[in-house]
């Protein structure tokens, strides 16, 4: 499992959005500021993850939620990336 940009976890050849301070900063910036192209791409990925989570079968969704919780634990152990 790999954590990318503090907002995505990669596992099983997929990339999933994880709740993080950085993700909430991006949502706030999109709502109230001027987001960069990179932030808009991150937000698009977050929306796509939400769509897939809602439409997938329940058994698979439970598996993904377990994996995402593991990713959150892993992300909490990693040092945070410096702000740009």
pTM: 0.71
Greatest Cα pair distance, the chain, in angstroms, is 39
Name the band, by pLDDT with cuts 50, 70 and 90, for residue 5: low
Q: What is the pLDDT of residue 24?
A: 87
Q: What is the pLDDT of residue 83?
A: 47
Alpha-carbon distance of 14 to 12, in angstroms, equals 5
User: What pLDDT, in 10s, does the model give residues 31-81?
Assistant: 999 999 999 998 898 899 899 999 999 999 999 999 989 888 888 887 655
Locate the domains of the chain by residue range. Answer: 2-77
Name the band, by pLDDT with cuts 50, 70 and 90, for residue 16: confident
Indicate the burial class of 16 (C-beta count within 10 angstroms; 0-12, 13-18, 19 or more). Answer: buried
Give me the count of residues in the chain.
84
Is there a contact between 22 and 5 (Cβ–Cβ < 8 Å)? Answer: yes
């Amino acid at each position: 499992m790999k954590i990318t940009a503090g907002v995505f976890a990669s596992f099983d050849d997929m990339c999933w959005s994880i709740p993080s301070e950085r993700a909430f900063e991006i949502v706030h910036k999109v709502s109230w500021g001027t987001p960069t192209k990179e932030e808009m791409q991150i937000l698009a990925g977050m929306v796509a993850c939400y769509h897939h989570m809602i439409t997938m079968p329940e058994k698979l969704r439970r598996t993904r939620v377990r994996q995402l919780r593991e990713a959150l634990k892993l992300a909490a152990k990693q040092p945070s990336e410096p702000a740009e």
